[in-house]
Amino acid sequence: MQRDRPTGGSEPLSVGKLPTFISPPTVPAEPVIQGNGVSITTVVPDSLVLNSKTFSVIPVMPEEGRWPIPAEDNSAAVWVYGTMVNYVVGLPYSDTTESMLAGLTSADRITLTLSNGNALVFGSPQAQRVPGDDTSPMEQHRPGLTMILLGGSQTNRLVVRSRYLPEESLASENEQRVLGLTVTVLQSGIVETGDNPYFVIEYRLANGSDAQVDPATFSLTLEDGSGQRYQSSVEATAQGQNGALTIPVASGETVEGSVGYQVPRDLQPPLTWVFRADPTAPEAARFVLPYEPPAPLPAQPEVELRDAFVDSQRDVIVFSGVIRNLGESALTVMLDNVKLTSNAGESSLQAPTPQLPWTVEAGGEQEFELQFSRPAGVQTVLLDILGFTFEIEGLP
């Protein structure tokens, strides 16, 4: 840097560089200590897949806002140790990586694989530039992934925030480890008990920690595809094969239990079961469960008779009313479902309006008019429609 001054010469320019490393830096090896004294090994990210490019992930601890990055290795990313709700990952600068981050669309998916084999999927990426000293991208208020481009000539950093997609995230088969416990989903599905369906999960729990755990402290939540969450129900859990876990599980012990949820019949898939051994800890096992909706309830007719009179000119009895279907399946009304009887026997149906058969969709209704031949010499007749019987007296 030259200035136009008599003495001439140059002045120093201070340049802040990112520290680099060849061997992975040392991060705290302290386990997370829970209230019951159980020591837990932290689950950390292993790899990041972005637009078919895979980055290995190395845990680091930034100091005074300076991020350590791998020396001469653009295929390795760094994860801020301890960010486990909003995972914060730094990517070393390159023209290719900058273009890739800036070009992400809402349809793109980013996959972060953890050391326990679980693959977390994130979507709807939003890119922006923030000042280098802005720490807001590291906030842990909501689940997500924040990728930060490290280095480059720009003063502001390129930051991409993505939303966590539990419905697309994958578990390593049906078995996961969380806080020293191995949880295995054995089976799950709908149990029909009248009008209220239950969703019941059978699972196995192996305590690999050094102390007993109390199932009373577990948080077991079911989430549907619309974001609705369901808490376990005593009545629903009772429908399971093993029943609820109620007794503390000793170290090294393996047990099986059930958990059930009362759910609506229009439950929206996909379903995610979230197992937390400690509701205050961020660690959780998430299982995406298969779901077959319950069979629709049968048709449930309701018949209302609105009017009945004798048409002397045509010598017929005319009935009008409405049929409602309160069930979940279509209702079909056939000719055999409509009868008029008296002491003189069964009368013939002269003119149904509309023409039979009638189909009443679930939740729908059908207005009707029926004309029967008038039986001679009787004052009382019985009209039967789908088992609903109406007695008409005082015929002239």
Kindly report, residue by residue over 263-317, the tens digit of the pLDDT: 988 888 888 899 999 988 878 888 888 887 777 778 999 999 999 999 988 999 9
Cα-only R_g, the chain: 35
Nearest-angstrom CA–CA distance, 383 and 315: 17
pLDDT at 340: 95
pLDDT at 302: 96
| Strand 69-70 to 20-21 pairing | parallel
Query: Domain extents for the chain?
Result: 20-164, 175-289, 301-392
Q: pTM for the whole thing? A: 0.45
Nearest-angstrom CA–CA distance, 224 and 204: 22
Nearest-angstrom CA–CA distance, 187 and 184: 9
pLDDT at 39: 42
pLDDT at 34: 42
The residue with tokens 């991208």 is 137
Q: What CATH number does the domain located at 301-392 have?
A: 2.60.120.570
pLDDT at 167: 65
Given a contact cutoff of 8 angstroms between Cβ atoms, the answer to whether 82 and 88 are in contact is: no
Q: Which fold has domain 175-289?
A: Immunoglobulin-like (2.60.40)
Contacts of 7 (CB under 8 A, 6+ apart): none
pLDDT at 1: 34
Residues of the chain with pLDDT under 50: 1-18, 29-41, 172
Determine the distance from the C-alpha atom of residue 336 to the mean position of all C-alpha atoms in its chain, rounded to a whole number: 46
Q: What percent of the residues of the chain are helix, what percent strand, and what percent coil, each to the nearest 5?
A: 5, 45, 45
Output phi, psi for 100, to 5 deg: -65, -45
pLDDT at 16: 42
pLDDT at 194: 67
3-class DSSP assignment, residue 240? coil
Q: Which fold has domain 20-164?
A: Sortase; Chain: A; (2.40.260)
3-class DSSP assignment, residue 136? helix
